[in-house]
Structure 1
Amino acid sequence: MPKAPAEPVSEGRQTPTRPEVSVVVPVFNESGAAADLAREIAAAFAGHSLEILFVDDCSRDDTRARLLALKAEIPALRVLGHSANAGQSRAVRTGVLAARGDIIVTLDGDGQNDPADAPRLVEALKSGPPELALVGGERMRRQDSAAKKVASRIGNGVRKRLLRDTANDTGCGLKAFRREAFLRLPYFDHIHRYLPALMLREGYATAFLPVGHRPRTTGSSKYTNLGRLWASISDLWGVMWLQSRARRPGAVIEL
């Protein structure tokens, strides 16, 4: 059996012009949204030391081709592609592993997160105490169906009560976090919904800021309420188990 290719751990980190911020955007069949979103991200971070990584999770439409056509227009743009569909969390991890920046920003690829909010999260992360590792967005005036909002409210309430992660909206894709902290976390599918709890487990601090939310204008959601519920049940038990098995060493000193 041929050996599986290694993940792109840190190839770009040896370049002398490392950006400060790496924006990671997972996309799957987002042909109608991806190009405009890339332009919006570049505009939002104008003047910043930046790279933009779109990770195409084996789209069946022309998402990848549209992004590749933008590389000349947006020099900061990098396009990574999966050869098999692996899900949103794996696409985020692929982007973080390949990122050169020490600060990661994630956004959903459907255009519902407003990139104009992202620099504010980055500044909050940079100006916070050393232990602050993640600043998450909390969507205000969500532009989703009533059923989706109700399901999200229930799911967030149950998760927050069981995990005590202080987060009101872990489903918001807009987050800023430290790359090093993320790479210390155990990986599993759907980890993107449990980043606050896992950061706290490692002894980091988290914070949250209100952000905007826009209606989806192209494509369709990749999740259903039933599918999300089924995954959340097993994920919650798994994260609770990880919390129960955490043992922190306190301050580490070299002797």
Structure 2
Amino acid sequence: MQLSVVIPVLNEENNVEPLLHELEETLRGWDQVEVICVDDHSADRTLEILKSRSAEYPWLRIVRHHEQSGQSAAVRSGVQAARYPLIATLDGDGQNDPYDIAQLVAVYHREKNIAGPCLVNGRRLQRQDTGWRRLSSRLANGVRRRLLGDDTPDSGCGIKVFARADFLDLPSFNHMHRFVPALVRQRGGTVISVAVNHRRRVSGASHYGTLDRLAVGIVDLVGVLWLARRAIPPASNVEQECNG
């Protein structure tokens, strides 16, 4: 099994060490696996803790942004740095359960031979967030599903599995991580939602406020709608001729 786990982190000094310990337990026995933590220019001890654990965890790699660039940029940096063709992503706050990686990978391998790119997307059935955050997420997902037709009930869930090449073929823009299912479908791909565990945040707070996400989400939604109207569908009538 060749797998790169990409985790964007920003000011998660109290969460990153327990997450690494869980990953050590979860990934034990996997032959070829790496975990890439992308530090988005944290202002606390997150980077220091990651560096101090790199000798203990030989599968750990660290990517560092020299300025804060956002979650989507951090995910893309990690995927670009990945050595292996299959990617799993997790949020760095510990709310995603690393033990769910195996089931998403199994679903991916079962479905990957269908036409086009394949994305396995987590679905948090019992979100351990505030009522306001759950409501705002439900509304945002509903609007995205209705306008983009991505048929994904929880497109913002941080735990996903996909092919590295497929992800790097998607357009790159700020906040694109919330629209990956729609972008995959625009390319004739398949998105499969799988129920996953979700845990309460033990320490710290979300670095992206609800109103901020709503404001940028409207702009991004218009952009993704534009991309959907301009997308070139996969060609089914192409024949390649070779000389000689």
TM-score bracket relative to the smaller structure: over 0.9
Q: Which residue of 2 aligns with 1:94?
A: 77
- Map 1:16-55; keep pairs closer than 5 Å: 20-48=2-30, 49-55=32-38
Deviation for aligned residue 1:250? 1.6
Aligned equivalents of 1:123, 1:67: Cα separation in 2: 29
- Alignment equivalent of 2:40, drawn from 35, 57, 60: 57
Do the aligned residues in 1 keep the contact of 2:6 with 2:36 (CA within 8 Å)? yes
The CA RMSD measured in Å over matched residues stands at 1.1
Q: Residue type of the partner of 2:86?
A: I
Residues 25-74 of structure 1 deviation map (CA, whole Å, 9 limit, x = unaligned): 00000000111112212321221120000000000001001011111111
Asked if 1:82 corresponds to 2:68, the answer is no
Question: Secondary structure at the residue paired with 1:67?
Answer: helix
- The percentage of aligned residue pairs carrying the same residue is 45
Does 2:134 match 1:153? no
**1:43 and 1:218 mapped to 2: Cα distance?**
21
- 1:238 corresponding residue in structure 2: 223
| CA distance, structure 2, for counterparts of residue 249 and residue 191 of structure 1 | 21
**Contact 2:4–2:86, Cα closer than 8 Å, also in 1:** yes
Deviations, residues 166-189 of structure 1 (Å, cap 9, x unaligned): 100011100001111001100000
Structure-1 residue corresponding to 2:203: 218
User: What is the rounded CA distance, in whole Å, between the counterparts of 1:253 and 1:232 in structure 2?
Assistant: 40
- Quick check: 2:187–2:234 contact (8 Å CA) kept in 1? no
Alpha-carbon distance in 1 for matches of 2:51, 2:67 = 19
**1:39–1:74 Cα contact (<8 Å) kept:** no
Is the 2:8–2:39 Cα contact (8 Å) retained in structure 1? yes
Q: How many residues align?
A: 237
**In the alignment, what sits opposite 1:189?**
174
Partner residue of 1:202 out of 184, 187, 192: 187
The match for 1:254 is 240
Q: Is 2:182 aligned against 1:167?
A: no
Conserved in 2, the CA contact under 8 Å of 1:112 and 1:215? yes
Q: Which residue is 2:92 aligned to?
A: 109
Deviation at 1:123, TM superposition (A): 1.0
Give how far 1:140 is off. Answer: 1.8
- CA drift of 1:249 comes to 4.0
Q: Which of 162, 181, 194 in structure 2 is aligned with 1:177? A: 162
TM-score normalised by length of structure 2: 0.94
TM-score normalized with structure 1 length = 0.90
Instruction: Give per-residue Cα distances to partners, 1:105-144, cap 9 Å, x unaligned.
Output: 0000000000001111011101114235110000021100
Report which stretch shifted further, 122-131 or 97-106.
Answer: 122-131
Query: SS at 1:127's partner residue?
Result: helix
Measure, in 1, the Cα distance between the counterparts of 2:23 and 2:239.
41
**Distance of 1:66 and 1:51 partners within structure 2:** 18
Does the 8 A contact of 2:4 with 2:33 survive in 1? yes
Distance in 2 of aligned mates of 1:141 and 1:133: 25
- 1:201-253 deviation per Cα after TM superposition (whole angstroms, max 9, x unaligned): 11111101000100001111111111111011001000000000012242344
Runs (4+) of structure 1 moved beyond 3 Å?
none
